[in-house]
Structure 1
Amino acid sequence: MTINLTMALVLAVLYAVGFYLLMQRSLMRILLGIVILGHGSNLLLQTAGGPPARAPMLTSARPEEMADPLPQAMALTAIVITFALTTFLLALAYRSWTLLGHDEVRDDVEDRRIQRLERRLAESEEDAAEELEKEATQ
């Protein structure tokens, strides 16, 4: 099976734009990134399914003429998952907008505190290792 170059480029652009938007701090951009990634996944599944063929009924066509129903079923599942994630992110964005007045994702204060604590711990371990080296050389 060969893939069409145009479809490969469209898939690459969809995934690149989706991941770029997913890395932003605005919840609406994250939402758009999820939607675009969902569309890219659906297009990938349909492209991987191959060209259109006959319905997979045992008495209507030979097995080599039948379409594979698995990519179509997986695409329907991906559509449902994308829809559920989209509604969840819309609810988060709405809640953030009503409470804070913006949809910007802020840094977690506790996460920053833990990072500072780990940095201090690593520095103290380096200092202790240097002192042990000095004592060993004396």
Structure 2
Amino acid sequence: MTEFVLALVLGLLFALGTFLVLRRDVVRVVWGVSIISQAANVYLVTMGLLDGSVPVLEGHGEGAGAVTDPLVQALVLTAIVIGFGTTAFALVLTYRVYEEHGTIDLLELGGETDGN
């Protein structure tokens, strides 16, 4: 049952991120990429779950339940910090684009016209 809930939550996060990436607003695109990144981090942590064995103290984890591999946790923590930095940088760049062009609509920024 737990695996089903995790799969459902991950599917919803990836779907929400994809929905936001496909929007015309640059800020929503940045948030969509950020949500997809965090969903990938959650996926990695759930794949790092071990079945009752403690990776550091092999043989001492009987009956301890599900534990998480500490290497995966360290890598995901690093990915979270890097993702936060790149998201902040992308939002600052978006603000700069808004100051220069007066819009953050991707179609208006691309110079595409509707033919009128």
Task: Flag whether TM exceeds 0.5 (same fold).
Answer: yes
What TM-score, normalized to structure 1?
0.63
- Equivalent residues in 2 for 1:46-61 (5 A)? 46-50=45-49, 57-58=56-57
Residue segments in structure 1 that go unaligned for 5+ positions in a row: 110-138
Q: CA deviation at 1:3?
A: 6.6
Rg (Cα) greater in structure: 1
What TM-score, normalized to structure 2?
0.73
Distance 2:37 2:22 in 1: 16
Change (3 A) 1:51 1:108: farther
Q: Deviations over 1:14-45 (max 9, x none)?
A: 01111121122211101110221122112111
Distance 2:39 2:68 in 1: 21
Question: What's the RMSD between the two structures over aligned residues?
Answer: 2.9
Length, aligned pairs only: 106
Equivalent residues of 1:11, 1:40 under 8 A apart: yes
Aligned residue number for residue 98 of structure 1: 99
Percent identity (aligned): 36
Instruction: Identify the structure with the greater helix proportion.
Output: 1
Aligned residue number for residue 35 of structure 2: 36
Residue segments in structure 2 that go unaligned for 5+ positions in a row: none
Q: Deviations over 1:37-74 (max 9, x none)?
A: 1221121111111169787545xx63766742221122
Change (3 A) 1:93 1:53: farther
